[in-house]
Amino acid sequence: MIHKTVDLRSDTVTQPTAAMRAAMLAAPLGDDVFGDDPSVNALQDKIAAMLGFEAALFMPTGTQSNLCAILAHCQRGDEYLVGQMAHCYRWEGGGAAVLGSVQPQPLNHQADGTLALADIEAAIKPDDAHFARTRLLALENTLGGKLLPFDYLQQATQLAKAKGLSRHLDGARLFNAAVAQAAQTGSDAFTEAARIAGCFDSVSVCFSKGLGAPIGSALCGSQGFIARAHRIRKMAGGGMRQAGMLAAAASHALDHHVERLAQDHALAQRLAGSLAGIEGVQVEVPQTNIVFVDLSGAAKAKSAGLLPHLAEQGIQATGLYRLRFVTHLDVDEAGIDQAAAAMRQFFKA
């Protein structure tokens, strides 16, 4: 039997929609290294205004965006405080340390993904030659699909500010966080995105995850901060020429793909509910578009064959450190039901 392929590895696997491709083809172009690509400039102005910042800089990747942010906030011999599972510490090749001589100080996460305020304060080094200079607090929202509570963001960033630290948000899935937060407050996603961003000195936003663009992120901050980041982007090889086609895709995503993230969250809930009750399968209730699954007992004992079985059933997933399914705009209810059926078939056998 031939199964439809359902790719749940990540929300980075999406294909541009027909409307997005049309926007890319119609984009007016220039040379962004000279600063005269109108589509790039329009995107930068749009995302900066949307999140309440003076300026923004279009980047090829979220990894480069976070790197430029850390190096624009910190100097050689400085350090940044960051979570053990934060992307800009664990999953970005140690770039800040390797390329910027900036030391990460990783902290353990609480169960809800936050960093305890007491741990943040205790990790700030005294002004002494024995220590790296603590300069920056870096948080991530969402973190592993978890929405960091807004009151926590306020408290953590106010603490950092009071201690003289800059504050950076890896908002790779900022709009997923905003949609989830809007569901709690009764507001809208754009209002909530600006509220979250307002807690920070800089924010990195990814367009190629849930928003469905083929490539690109933006770093937002003050004019002076973005000027420093622009210089670092050049050194990191991030200057692109006729990048307006990519910027047009990102701009289209901001216009058309934000509110629909609620559909991805609903599909994640559907998958989690469908997996409930399988013996030895523990499902973490998703807050946004990421479903984590842990295995125990007999289910864990036979787990080596799970990913190959899912692949045979047309389901692509990842198990790098936990079994993970990610919903996105190229997944529908039928695909979710196909994934759930494949899981049930495997553990029933």
Residue whose structure tokens are 């864990």: 300
Distance (Å, whole) CA 315 – CA 227: 44
- CATH number, domain at 344? 3.90.1150.10
For residue 261, give the nearest of 170, 145, 179 by alpha carbon.
Answer: 179
In this prediction, residue 61 carries a pLDDT of: 98
144 and 279 assigned to the same domain: no
Kindly state whether residues 107 and 239 are assigned to the same domain.
yes
Length in residues, the chain = 349
Supply the pLDDT for residue 349: 52
| Domain end point (choices 206, 222, 256) | 256
Query: Residue 311: what pLDDT?
Result: 96
**How many domains, in total, are found in the chain?**
2
How far, in Å, CA of 39 to CA of 24, rounded?
10
Write out the two tokens for 20. Answer: 């997005």
> How far is the CA of 163 from the CAs of 18, 76, 166, 235, 277, in angstroms?
49, 20, 9, 31, 47
pLDDT digits (tens, 9 = 90+) for 215-238: 999 999 999 999 999 999 999 999
Q: Is residue 21 domain-resident?
A: no
Read off the CATH number of the domain in which 110 is found. Answer: 3.40.640.10
CB 277 within 8 A of CB 304: no
Does 115 share its domain with 230? yes
With the CA atoms of 132, 137, 142 and 148 taken in that order, what torsion angle do they form, in degrees rounded to the nearest 10?
A: 130
Residues of the chain falling short of pLDDT 50? none
- pTM (two decimals): 0.96
What is the 8-class DSSP label of residue 201? S
Phi-psi category of 251—alpha, beta or left, where left has phi over 0 and alpha has psi -120 to 50?
A: alpha
Domain final residue pick, 227, 256, 285: 256
The residue segments making up the domain with residue 175 are: 31-256
| Kind plus residue range of the DSSP H or E element containing 221 | strand 217-221
Q: Check residue 67 and give its pLDDT.
A: 98
Please check whether residues 117 and 222 belong to one and the same domain: yes
Domain-embedded: residue 22? no
Residues 162, 276 within the same domain: no
Residue 143 shares a structural domain with residue 278: no
- 289 and 144 fall within a common domain: no
| Residue 20: inside a domain | no
pLDDT score recorded for residue 269:
98
pLDDT recorded at residue 1: 60
Domain shared by 210 and 267, yes or no: no
Report how far residue 235's alpha carbon sits from residue 256's, in angstroms, rounded to the nearest whole number.
Answer: 33
Do 246 and 103 sit in the same domain of this protein?
A: yes
**Shared-domain flag, residues 53 and 78:** yes
3-state secondary structure of 39: helix
Secondary structure (DSSP) of 272-334: HHHHTT-TTEEEPPPSSSEEEEEE-HHHHHTGGGHHHHHHHTTEE-B-SSSEEEE--TT--HH
Partnered with residue 166 across adjacent β-strands are 136
- Residue 214 is assigned to a structural domain of this protein: yes
339 lies in a domain?
yes
What are the pLDDT digits (tens) for 172-230?
Answer: 999 999 999 999 999 999 999 999 999 999 999 999 999 999 999 999 999 999 999 99
Give the integer Cα–Cα distance in Å for 299 and 280: 5
